[in-house]
Amino acid sequence: MAAIPQDSKDWMGARLERKEDLRLITGHGKYVADIVLPGMLHAAFVRSDHAHAKIKRIDTTEAAALPGVVAVFTGDEFKDHCKSMRQPVLLPNLPAKYPLYYALAIDKVKFHGDPVAVIIARDKYVAEDAAELVVVDYAELPVVLDPEAALEPGAVRVHDDEADNEMFSMTFTGGATIEEQDKNAAEVEKIFQSADVVVKERFRVHRTGTTPMETRGVLAEWSPSDGLTVYNTTQRPHIDRLAFADILDIPAEKVRVIAPRDMGGGFGLKAPFYRESIVIAYAARKLKRPVRWIESRYEGLMNIGQERGQVNDLEVAATKDGKLLALRNRGVADCGTGQIGVYWGFVMPFLGAVEMPNAYTWNAGDVRLKVAFTNKACLTPSRAFGHFPTRFAIERAVDMVARKCSLEPADLRRKNLVPKLPYTSVTGEYYDSGDFLKVWDSLMVKADLPAFRREQATARAAGRYLGIGFGCGVELSGVASELMVPMENQPGYGAATVRLDPRGKAFIFGGDAPGGQGHETTISQIVAATFGISPEDTVITTGDTGTTPFGSGTIGARMGSYFASAVRKACDELKEKITHVLAHDLGVRATVEEFAFTNGEVIYARDPAKRKGFREIVERIIMFPVNLPEGEVGGLESTAFFEAAKPMICFNADCCVVEVDITNGNFKIQRWVTSEDVGNVINPMIVDGQMHGAIVQGLSNAIFEEFIYNEQGQQLTADFEHYKLATAADVPTIEITYASTPCPHTPLGTRGIGEGRPSAVSGALCNALCDALSLFNIEITELPIRPNVLWKKLQAAGAVTK
If we measure between CA atoms, which residue out of 391, 388, 328 comes closest to residue 356?
391
For 137-177, the pLDDT digits (tens) are: 999 999 999 999 999 999 999 999 999 999 999 999 999 99
Q: Dihedral (C-alpha) 624, 630, 632, 633: value to the nearest 10 degrees?
A: 50
Give pLDDT, residue 5: 43
DSSP 5: P
Rounded to whole angstroms, how far apart are CA atoms 370 and 163? 16
Rounded to whole angstroms, how far apart are CA atoms 388 and 408? 24
Concatenated DSSP letters of 409-433:
HHHHHHHHB--SSSEE-TT--EE-S
Q: Which residues contact 465 (CB under 8 A, 6 or more apart)?
A: 459, 659, 660, 661, 662, 772, 773, 775
Query: Once rounded to an integer, what is the mean pLDDT over residues 65-89?
Result: 97
For 298-333, the pLDDT digits (tens) are: 999 999 999 999 999 999 999 999 999 999 999 999
Query: Once rounded to an integer, what is the mean pLDDT over residues 24-39?
Result: 97
If we measure between CA atoms, which residue out of 371, 212, 395 comes closest to residue 771?
395
Rounded to whole angstroms, how far apart are CA atoms 359 and 418? 6
Q: How confident is the model at residue 9 (pLDDT cuts 50, 70, 90)?
A: low
If we measure between CA atoms, which residue out of 647, 682, 680, 270 comes closest to residue 492?
647
Backbone angles phi, psi at 567, to 5 degrees: -60, -50
Total residue length of the chain: 802
Give pLDDT, residue 387: 97
H helices within 82-177, ranges in order? Answer: 124-131, 147-150
Distances (CA, A) of 267 to 383, 420, 679, 701: 5, 31, 22, 13
pLDDT beyond 80 at 557: yes
Q: Which residues contact 202 (CB under 8 A, 6 or more apart)?
A: 311, 312, 313, 314, 781
pLDDT beyond 90 at 4: no
DSSP 759: G
- pTM across the whole model: 0.97
H helices within 249-329, ranges in order? Answer: 275-287, 297-303
**DSSP reduced 3-state for 670:** strand
Distances (CA, A) of 713 to 160, 377, 647: 18, 10, 40
Rounded to whole angstroms, how far apart are CA atoms 600 and 503? 12
Q: Which residues contact 346 (CB under 8 A, 6 or more apart)?
A: 94, 96, 167, 168, 333, 335, 338, 371, 379
Residue 174 φ/ψ region, left for φ over 0, alpha for ψ in the -120 to 50 degree band, beta for the rest: left
Q: How confident is the model at residue 2 (pLDDT cuts 50, 70, 90)?
A: very low
Q: Which domains does the chain have, with CATH numbers?
A: 21-28+493-642 (3.30.365.10), 48-141 (3.90.1170.50), 389-478+648-796 (3.30.365.10)
Q: How confident is the model at residue 646 (pLDDT cuts 50, 70, 90)?
A: confident
DSSP 560: I
Rounded to whole angstroms, how far apart are CA atoms 54 and 45? 18
Count other Cβ atoms within 10 Å, centred on residue 213.
Answer: 10
Rounded to whole angstroms, how far apart are CA atoms 682 and 693? 18
pLDDT above 90 covers a percentage of the chain that reads 97
Give pLDDT, residue 754: 87
**DSSP reduced 3-state for 300:** helix
CB 233 within 8 A of CB 259: yes
Backbone angles phi, psi at 312, to 5 degrees: -130, 115
Q: How confident is the model at residue 795 (pLDDT cuts 50, 70, 90)?
A: very high
H helices within 405-498, ranges in order? Answer: 409-416, 436-447, 449-461, 481-488
Give pLDDT, residue 188: 98
Give pLDDT, residue 10: 87
pLDDT above 70 covers a percentage of the chain that reads 99
For 484-503, the pLDDT digits (tens) are: 998 999 999 999 999 999 99
pLDDT beyond 60 at 8: no
**DSSP reduced 3-state for 55:** strand
Q: How confident is the model at residue 645 (pLDDT cuts 50, 70, 90)?
A: confident
